A and B are shown apart, each in its own frame.
With several copies, the nearest count.
Chain A
Amino acid sequence: MSQKVKFEGLPREMIALRVSREIKEGSYVNLGIGIPTLISNWTEGVDIVLQAEIGMLKTGSLAEGDDVDQDLINASCQAVTALPGSSYFDIVESFAMIRGGHIDIAVMGALQINARGDYAGWSNPSRGLFVGNVGGSMDLCAGAKKLFIAMEHTTKDGELKIVNELSYPATALGKVSMLFTDLAVIEITPKGMVLKEVMAGLTAKDIQSVTGPKLIIAKDLKEIEL
């Protein structure tokens, strides 16, 4: 479990950029806290609509100065702006939208993920509490048509995050379809994890060395293009 290989990966912004390429125009998208939030830096001018679970569709960029309105924040408690076509609604409607299958893609961070598409993200046992901040993550997993994970490939200390079995409390089982890390792009299929793209300069073998489950190497394996 404690393989301590660690590669210098892409910066977080570049992971976000790579994810943004996977989001088709016309999509309704919810971005979780962390790397996923950075995706919105890459979608300006792209015809996608961001949903904030607080109760807003079509959130704009972060608000600054006179644009800050205490009644207009995103799910991370940051002041945001509205766009033409933005709408507001109550929390019940917001989660009806999420749970009811109206959001095309949710992008979330994760602490651990396995080859079956199970992932853990809501509770870090190191906090030492059975309870935790689950927020809307499980609703997004239950309802979004596609679930992407964007995260660092390993922890800062080089601990594996892509594991054979989760040791952290699961957020959802079998829901993740794509995994984007600083080192690789991995598709999760019924047969297991398929390595589709690696960071320039690394090999499939390098990726396997920091990945728990045995990877299936895509026939058309390529470099992550940014």
Chain B
Amino acid sequence: MDKTFPSIEEAIADIKDGAVIAIPGFFACGVPRDLLKALIKKGTKNLTLACGCGPLVGAVDEMRALVKNNQVKKVIDSYGLSRSASKGMQEPFEQAVRAGKIELEVFPMGTMAEKYRAAGAGIPAFYTPTGVGSVFEESDVTNIESNRKPKETRMINGQKYVLEYALKPDYAFIHAIIGDKEGNLRYSKTARNFNHVMAMAARVTIAEVENLVEVGKLDGNDVQTPGVYVHRMIKVSRPQFAITID
């Protein structure tokens, strides 16, 4: 089951306008930058980028290019804006959010993680204590007021919980340090973050790997994402970037 693709362009060729794409990465770390660059080049529009903790704050050049190209309809994230309020004001992304031209929907980070996991695990909905007592128990938290659908809460054993739903992206872009041709992946340290769970969650998972090895080179005990979750594989170079966010 050789899942390698001859080029990154071919690996993303079928992504259509309007797709929902999961983008892992925790700020600068573990972001699938080559896949993002290929997506910019391809120019696909009306995208929903389903993130977890600010990969577009970390990969800010890619974010700026996507916004400049008018490719982004919506971002879902726990940390989608610049850390610095004053620097954020200068960002075309935040300006588009303020203008209501791009939707930004926010969930607590653990809820985001759990929503992807639920999608990957066939769990349609779950209760969580996170967000109780905040606006997150009242409605969806988005800059687009008309999309603030009320949320449901429930008392279980005397405690209040919020009902949250699975979030299933059409595609996931994954970055791994090593992968075999059948899609078994392994990550480096904290670059794992949202990569595994997004690979589980998406209908189609496309992984860029720094090291592409023959099947059998990864020990079965060392595989962190089993190949069943991964549909397409690309070899990329180790990315170069600044470990910083504004």
Of the residues A26, A72, A134, A137, contact of B1 by C-beta under 8 Å: A26
Tell me, rounded to whole Å, the shortest Cβ–Cβ distance linking A98 to chain B. Answer: 6
**B79: chain A residues within 8 A (beta carbon):** 133-135
Q: How large is the interface on A (under 10, 10 to 19, 20 to 34, 35 or more residues)?
A: 35 or more
Tell me, rounded to whole Å, the shortest Cβ–Cβ distance linking A122 to chain B. Answer: 8
Is the beta-carbon distance between A137 and B190 smaller than 8 angstroms?
Answer: no
Please encode chain B, from 59 to 88, with 1 for each CB lying within 8 Å of some chain A CB and 0 for all others: 000000000000000000011110101001
A82 CB-CB contact with B under 8 Å:
yes
**B88: chain A residues within 8 A (beta carbon):** 127
B119 CB-CB contact with A under 8 Å:
yes
Is the beta-carbon distance between A70 and B85 smaller than 8 angstroms?
Answer: no
A7 CB-CB contact with B under 8 Å:
no
Tell me, rounded to whole Å, the shortest Cβ–Cβ distance linking A112 to chain B. Answer: 13
A102 CB-CB contact with B under 8 Å:
yes
Is the beta-carbon distance between A138 and B108 smaller than 8 angstroms?
Answer: yes
**B196: chain A residues within 8 A (beta carbon):** 90, 92
B23 CB-CB contact with A under 8 Å:
no
Is the beta-carbon distance between B117 and A170 smaller than 8 angstroms?
Answer: no
Can you list 21 contacts pairing A with B, beta carbon distance less than 8 Å? A69-B188, A74-B190, A77-B28, A77-B29, A84-B216, A87-B223, A88-B189, A89-B226, A91-B109, A92-B196, A97-B229, A99-B129, A101-B122, A129-B98, A132-B106, A133-B54, A134-B108, A142-B128, A142-B130, A169-B135, A172-B132
Q: Residues of B at under 8 Å CB distance from A?
A: 1, 26-30, 52-54, 58, 78-81, 83, 85, 88, 97-98, 104-111, 113-114, 116-117, 119-123, 128-136, 141-143, 145, 177, 180, 182, 184, 187-197, 200, 215-216, 218, 220-221, 223-224, 226-229, 239, 241, 243-245
